[in-house]
Amino acid sequence: MPSIPTFITQLTHYHLPSVFNPWSDYDPDLDIGPAAPAIRRDQLQQYLKLRQGRARYLFLAEAVGYQGGRFSGIPITSERILLGFHDQVRSEDVISGPCRRTSRPDCPSLNPSEQAKGMAEPTATIVWGTLLAHGLKPEEFVFWNIFPFHPYKSKSPGKTLSNRTPTAAELACGAEIFHHFHALFPAVQIFAVGAKASQTLAELNILFFHLPHPANGHANQFRETVDKQVGRV
C-alpha cells in the first residue's frame, strides 16, 4: 500500500499563483507561526492513517476552503471541529491525537468568534453532520478535494480569506494528484460533491456517484441524496 508520509511530502512541492498550499505555505499575517505548515501536515497524516484500510467511502469536493482545510490541514474540516467547539462533531471523530489551530487568535481579519474558537466552515458542518447522522462511523469515510489546495481571489492583504473556483489548469493538476490519493484508498466507493469534482472524474473515466454541493441553499438536497445513495448503490 502506498505511503501516506510520501504522499504528503509530494503535496508540499506544489506551488501555483493565487493558490495557498496548506502543507508548505505560511502567511505571517494569518498563521500562528512558521510551524503552521508542519502542524497541518501532521494533522492530515493522522487523519489519513486513521482511515487507510478502513474507509468505505470517499467524498470528493472541489477545493480547500479558507474556513476549512486552509487552516486545519484536513479537507472539509474546520478548526472549530478539531478544537472541540462543534455541537455535532467531536475532535476525536477526526483524529485521535492532539489537535491544534494554525490561525492566529489575534488576527484582526478574523471576527471575535473565529479569534476565540478558530475558523468555522458551513460546508464542513453540513457534510460531517449528515454522514454521522446517516449512521456512518468516522473512520468509514474519507474526504479529499479534486483540487487539493486553496485557490483565493487576490494577493491583496486579507483577500486570501476568500475562495474561488479552480481553473481548468488547476483541476488538471488536481486530477494528477488524485491518482496518487486514490492509490491510498483503492477500495472506496467515490461520491463527487458538486459539479467540478463530478466533471473531472467523468473526464478521467473513474466510476463515481454524484452528490449536490450543500452550499448556496442545497443542504437539504445534499442530505436527501446521501440518504438515498450512500450504502445503497
Q: For the chain, list the domains and their CATH numbers.
A: 4-229 (3.40.470.10)
Strand order through the sheet with 189-193: 141-147, 57-63, 189-193, 209-211
pLDDT in tens, 173-207: 999 999 999 999 999 999 999 999 999 999 999 99
Give, to the nearest 10 degrees, the angle between helix 168-184 and helix 195-203: 70
Can you spell out the DSSP letters for 163-203? --PPPHHHHHHHHHHHHHHHHHSTTPEEEEESHHHHHHHHH
Residue 141 has phi, psi (to 5 degrees) of -135, 150
Eight-class DSSP state of 160: T
Angle at 34 between CA 31 and CA 39, to 5 degrees: 75
Q: Are 109 and 30 in contact (CB under 8 A)?
A: yes
**Rounded to an integer, what distance in angstroms lies between the CA atom of residue 66 and that of residue 18?**
13
Q: Give bridge partners of residue 103 from the DSSP assignment.
A: 31
**Rounded to an integer, what distance in angstroms lies between the CA atom of residue 122 and that of residue 86?**
11
pLDDT in tens, 18-49: 999 999 999 999 999 999 999 999 999 999 99
CA distances from 119 to 81, 132, 141, 196 (A): 9, 21, 22, 24
Q: Is the pTM of this model over 0.85?
A: yes
Per-residue pLDDT of the chain (233 residues), as tens digits, is: 679 999 999 999 999 999 999 999 999 999 999 999 999 999 999 999 999 999 999 999 999 999 999 999 999 999 999 999 998 899 999 999 889 999 999 999 999 999 999 999 999 999 999 999 999 999 999 999 999 999 999 766 667 899 999 999 999 999 999 999 999 999 999 999 999 999 999 999 999 999 999 987 889 999 999 998 887 54
Q: Are 15 and 149 in contact (CB under 8 A)?
A: no
Q: Say what the pLDDT of residue 131 is.
A: 96
C-alpha cell at 229: 445513495
Q: Give bridge partners of residue 145 from the DSSP assignment.
A: 61
